[in-house]
Structure 1
Amino acid sequence: MKIGNDIYYVGVNDHQIDLFEGQYVVPNGMSYNSYVIMDEKIAVMDTVDANFKDEWLENVAKVLDGAKPDYLVVQHMEPDHAANIENFMKAYPDTTVVANTKTFTMMGNFFRNLNLDGKKLVVANGDSLTLGKHVLTFVFAPMVHWPEVMVTYDSTDKVLFSADGFGKFGALDVEEDWDCEARRYYIGIVGKYGAQVQKLLKAAATLDIQTICPLHGPILTENLGHYLEKYDIWSSYKVESEGVVIAYTSVYGNTKKAVELLAQKLEEKGCPKVTVFDLARDDMAKAVEDAFRYGKLVLATITYNGDIFPFMRTYIENLTERSYQNRTIGLIENGSWAPAAARIMQGMFEKSKNITWLENNVKITSSLSEANEAEIEAMAEELCK
């Protein structure tokens, strides 16, 4: 696949994978993207996952058509992108590897026997590399989402090689909406590093970008303002859409009944969007994604061993470690004796910024009472304001 005048896609699709990074469900697989810039000097942009060595090297060789690459640019050392550096150097031993100091340190840790003496080009933030017509400028993007990450701007074709930025789950041979799988990818993997993404967006705003080439997901060539706006919303922890997320755990069904009643009340009152997650059964990453997407969150769980149910603890930890903020939260707790769930859940957000707590919460003692039904009515009313 050709991108622009001299840039070619040489990546691969992975339909073997079930869990990305060992935890994220990817029903439509993944893509590992790599690119070749054909110029007076030829540059290959990143490698791919170890399982696709042969397919990737064949893709590269087809584009090179007998030519030899001059540079291998390594933007990110995560193994789904960098696993084939040593294999590439065996195939093309005269290539110079272009990377920053932190990247070369990591490279030595991943490839203990790789000798790059005389084959390194160490770049600093803002450095440029001229290939001929194409001039590549390297912009460091630490913690988006590893410390060595950099992105690369080609000022000739106005292409941003964005590393993991603007990536998404899903292989390229599957049609699916960009927003949802890019959001789930961003929140799950990069979400903790909003400040660093904001810094990168400010740097990108100074560039004339007409194409974005990420390391996962489709090449973006149209309506780039949409993708930039989404990244600005996600990385600044703004509310993207109006709606209520209800996340719950329930052992014997009584807490679930309260959640179902609340969802019914919210829909009757015209709430624009209500999503409900059973944290023991539903995709945790999707439940986390929606908590960041929508402005209001209700957490419902039981007191369990003097604490809260494990799936709820895991869920809240997933939110807080990703800097959950600027949201409204309501609480539903259930306890047959000594209920403590509401206090514990609220305490887990003590370091979160700009959390508004609902005045109307729900305290169940074993099963729903008429008083609980009135509390749920009041909670729904407050949520719909």
Structure 2
Amino acid sequence: MHNRNNITDKIFWVGTNDRRTTLFENYWPLPKGVAYNSYVILDEKIAIVDTVEKGTMDEYLDNITEVLDGRKADYLVINHMEPDHSGSIRSLVERYPDMKIVGNKKTFPMLERFYGIKENLLEVKEGDLIDLGKHKLNFYMVPMLHWPETMVTFETTQGILFSGDAFGAFGTLDGGIFDDELDLDYLDEEISRYYSNIVGKYGRPTQNALKKLAGLEIKMICATHGPIWRSHVADIIAKYDKWSQFKTDEGCVIVYSSMYGNTEKMADNIARQLVKKGIKKVRIHDSSKTHPSYIINDIFKYRGVILGSCAYNGDVFPTMETLINELEHMAIKDHVLGVFGSKSWGGGGLKRLNKFAEEIKWETIEATPEALCAPNSADFDACEALAEGMASRLKELYK
């Protein structure tokens, strides 16, 4: 271990970087990898906080062995049971069989069902304290951020919040572990994409957690993914506050599904009209090329959403179906929606998008262009009407 892994003189980062896994939760792309963060507190009693995914376990166990330097762990604190953080628990239990496993009443049934572990358990409730010596640990329940058993651990002596998945990010820790050691501009999209896709559905639980933790004097946030926050603590909390209230900026995300380019022509036309009407932040995505995680990330940023699909087997195009299913399941709130489409005979794409509009319950723009085969001048007029409706509504909202 090198000094760069010190968080304080007695608290260490013992996590791992994963540059091999291509999909997080076997779904979300990881072009910049991901870090699994685990921490060791050295004191009269030794506590390990969370573990790592089993694929990087050998390196992780080496890190812990080096920090403990012959001592044994007294406690393992489990803030979150998802296997990317609990995957090394069984190996730690085999190595330190006397170690007490700290969790809450919802942690332990999962622990037994995932790993068959049901001994040496120490249940903690809201506000309970574990005294390690110099360091004191308090526990706060944050259910559905983003699993029902999730809690956070607050080290009161130095004001360090071990926050689980909250305030996390995709991306490996390349050469540093703190926010002020890393290029946050490079990680910016991975920070927001992590929130919008992993935590995003749980806006209300996030708000509840922020209110609960508001009274703590937090000087550092140690999440289970991404940078350790020490210089931008207020910034990341403010971002979570904004995102979890579904607050967005003036702008519009256009997503289209197009087999032969006709629906794409309509998307380009709508985008041009939006820009002419003063909407500068326009993001166009081809649903067949762009993974939903990037599209959803943009939707969390901008108020306007315009979806267009060709007809496909009498329904919506498959990649658009995937996207709208994601949006429905995530229950994203408070957007302005426009829809359009194209068909060669019977249609179905626009019909499904109109049904989505009813189900998602966003404010909608009246104009719904649908071209027959290739768009003609009347279709482009309808596209302009859609763009006009969206632009004027956004300008009203952000004047």
TM over 0.5: yes
Letter in 1 for 2:247: K
Q: For 1:65 and 1:163, how far apart are their aligned partners in 2? A: 26
Partner in structure 2 of residue 150 of structure 1: 151
Q: For 2:244 and 2:352, how far apart are their aligned partners in 1? A: 28
Contact kept in structure 1, 2:73 and 2:99, CA below 8 Å: yes
Contact kept in structure 1, 2:253 and 2:284, CA below 8 Å: yes
Within the candidate set 96, 99, 105, 1:101 is matched to 105
TM-fit CA distance, 1:115: 5.6
Partner in structure 1 of residue 95 of structure 2: 91
1:217-238 residue CA offsets vs partner (Å, 9 max, x unmatched): 0000113221111111221212
For residue 192 of structure 1, give the secondary structure of its aligned residue in structure 2: coil
Mapped pair 1:261 → 2:269: yes
Contact kept in structure 1, 2:337 and 2:357, CA below 8 Å: no
Structure 1 unpaired stretches of 5+: none
TM-fit CA distance, 1:17: 0.7
Q: For 1:228 and 1:252, how far apart are their aligned partners in 2? A: 44
Within the candidate set 75, 78, 81, 2:79 is matched to 75
Q: For 1:207 and 1:40, how far apart are their aligned partners in 2? A: 25
Letter in 1 for 2:228: I
Partner in structure 2 of residue 122 of structure 1: 123
Within the candidate set 200, 217, 220, 1:211 is matched to 220
Structure 2 unpaired stretches of 5+: 176-182, 393-399
Q: For 1:324 and 1:91, how far apart are their aligned partners in 2? A: 44
Partner in structure 1 of residue 22 of structure 2: 18
TM-fit CA distance, 1:368: 1.0
Partner in structure 2 of residue 4 of structure 1: 8
Mapped pair 1:235 → 2:244: yes
For residue 333 of structure 2, give the secondary structure of its aligned residue in structure 1: coil
Contact kept in structure 1, 2:305 and 2:336, CA below 8 Å: yes
Aligned pair count reads: 380
Letter in 2 for 1:165: A
Partner in structure 2 of residue 285 of structure 1: 293
The 5 A counterparts of 1:249-328 are 249-328=257-336
Higher mean displacement: 135-144 or 371-380: 371-380
Change (3 A) 1:351 1:362: closer
Contact kept in structure 2, 1:320 and 1:349, CA below 8 Å: no
Partner in structure 2 of residue 365 of structure 1: 372
TM-fit CA distance, 1:10: 0.6
Partner in structure 2 of residue 223 of structure 1: 232
Q: For 1:165 and 1:12, how far apart are their aligned partners in 2? A: 18
TM-score, structure 1 normalization: 0.95
Q: For 1:380 and 1:357, how far apart are their aligned partners in 2? A: 12
Partner in structure 1 of residue 167 of structure 2: 166
Contact kept in structure 2, 1:46 and 1:72, CA below 8 Å: yes
Contact kept in structure 2, 1:323 and 1:352, CA below 8 Å: yes
Mapped pair 1:184 → 2:193: yes
TM-fit CA distance, 1:26: 0.5
TM-fit CA distance, 1:371: 0.7
Mapped pair 1:52 → 2:56: yes
Contact kept in structure 1, 2:315 and 2:347, CA below 8 Å: no
User: Percent of aligned positions with the same letter in both sequences?
Assistant: 42
1:53-106 residue CA offsets vs partner (Å, 9 max, x unmatched): 221111112111222221111111111111111111111122111111221111
Contact kept in structure 2, 1:330 and 1:357, CA below 8 Å: yes
Change (3 A) 1:351 1:254: closer
For residue 48 of structure 2, give the secondary structure of its aligned residue in structure 1: strand
Contact kept in structure 2, 1:261 and 1:376, CA below 8 Å: yes
TM-score, structure 2 normalization: 0.91
1:7-46 residue CA offsets vs partner (Å, 9 max, x unmatched): 1111010111111110111111110000011111111101
Q: For 1:122 and 1:135, how far apart are their aligned partners in 2? A: 16
Q: For 1:246 and 1:130, how far apart are their aligned partners in 2? A: 53
Partner in structure 1 of residue 179 of structure 2: none
Mapped pair 1:28 → 2:37: no
Q: For 2:348 and 2:118, how far apart are their aligned partners in 1? A: 58
Q: For 1:272 and 1:211, how far apart are their aligned partners in 2? A: 36
Mapped pair 1:377 → 2:384: yes
1:145-200 residue CA offsets vs partner (Å, 9 max, x unmatched): 11111111111110110000011111001745343212211221122211111111
For residue 122 of structure 2, give the secondary structure of its aligned residue in structure 1: strand
Letter in 2 for 1:343: K
Mapped pair 1:193 → 2:208: no
Contact kept in structure 2, 1:5 and 1:157, CA below 8 Å: no
Q: For 1:105 and 1:89, how far apart are their aligned partners in 2? A: 17
For residue 202 of structure 2, give the secondary structure of its aligned residue in structure 1: helix
Contact kept in structure 2, 1:187 and 1:322, CA below 8 Å: no
Q: For 1:228 and 1:59, how far apart are their aligned partners in 2? A: 30
Letter in 2 for 1:171: T
